[in-house]
Amino acid sequence: MKVFRFRTVSSTQDAARKLVEKGVKEGVVVAEIQTSGRGRISRKWHSPRGGLWLSLILRPKVVPTYCLRLVLISGLAVVKAIRKVSGLNALIKWPNDVLTDGRKICGILIESETVNDLVKYVIVGIGINVNVKLEDLPPEVRAEATSLSEKLGREVSVEEVLKNLLKEFETFYKLFLKGDTGWIDEYRKVSYVLGKNVCVSSEDGSTICGSAVDIDEYGRLMLKLEDGTIKRFGYGEVTKVRI
């Protein structure tokens, strides 16, 4: 994948979109600093120097339902890359956070455009706190976040993380394009939520709690509710996790 490098951008998502408009088919945008990094539903993603801030430009010929799988394979690629370069026990908090020791070390954001029910392009944004100093994050974020350098007590090569991440991603992306869901087994093993009692908050403000029993073939989180019924979530935020 071709790498487009920038020092400072508003958001690598915006830079990627501009490249898409110029006709770039596939590639990865990497920046050292983002001045307006974003998370889901207009949340801020703090992106000081030291992090790996990137956006993948992809053009899979799929229906939008499959985009959730892309979020999940991206998380899996991040987990494998982090484990490889640091040995840390990274886990995925469905759908888009990667945690170490319960603290957020990476967030993933997917943005796409659809034409006639087919995805025209997808931009997968991945932010990893590689050498981010926690004092460079606002206090309320710092309390729940960590970075590789913070955990290891030494700096880690951002390039090394990038190289491993792209390698892992390409392997899973090939499976994704073939419709092969063999990666789900691997995903289950590194899930932070499966087997636990969790609550999922949705954008409409509702929160539903239950036991996280599995991930289905579309990447949806399956909760077993108190009355025994199974509810599937394609979107949402896991707010409470109890063993």
Report the interface residues with ligand BT5, using CB under 6 A.
11-13, 34, 37-40, 43-47, 53-55, 96-97, 104, 107-109, 125-127, 129, 137, 141, 145
Report the nearest approach of ligand BT5 to the CB of residue 234 (Å).
15
Name the residue nearer to ligand BT5 (CB basis): 43 or 225.
43
Element holding 93 (H helix, E strand):
strand 91-93
Strands 103-115 and 221-224 turn out to be: unpaired
Report the nearest approach of ligand BT5 to the CB of residue 199 (Å).
15
- Helices marked H in 147-240 — which ranges? 148-152, 158-178, 183-189
Report the nearest approach of ligand BT5 to the CB of residue 92 (Å).
12
| Burial letters 197-235, b for 16+ CB under 10 A, else e | ebbbbeeeeeeeebbbebbeeebbbbbeeeeeeeeebee
Report the nearest approach of ligand BT5 to the CB of residue 198 (Å).
15
Task: Provide CB contacts within 8 A for 96, sequence distance 6+.
Answer: 40, 71, 75, 107, 108, 109, 110
For residue 46, how many other CB atoms are within 10 A of its CB? 17
Name the residue nearer to ligand BT5 (CB basis): 124 or 212.
124
Report the nearest approach of ligand BT5 to the CB of residue 22 (Å).
18
Name the residue nearer to ligand BT5 (CB basis): 54 or 78.
54
Name the residue nearer to ligand BT5 (CB basis): 32 or 160.
32
Q: Nearest residue to ligand BT5, using CB?
A: 107
Name the residue nearer to ligand BT5 (CB basis): 88 or 175.
88
Backbone angles phi, psi at 83, to 5 degrees: -60, -40
Give the tokens for residue 153: 């007590």
Name the residue nearer to ligand BT5 (CB basis): 82 or 181.
82
Distance in angstroms (rounded) separating the CA atoms of residues 238 and 243: 14
Report the nearest approach of ligand BT5 to the CB of residue 41 (Å).
6
Distance in angstroms (rounded) separating the CA atoms of residues 100 and 91: 6
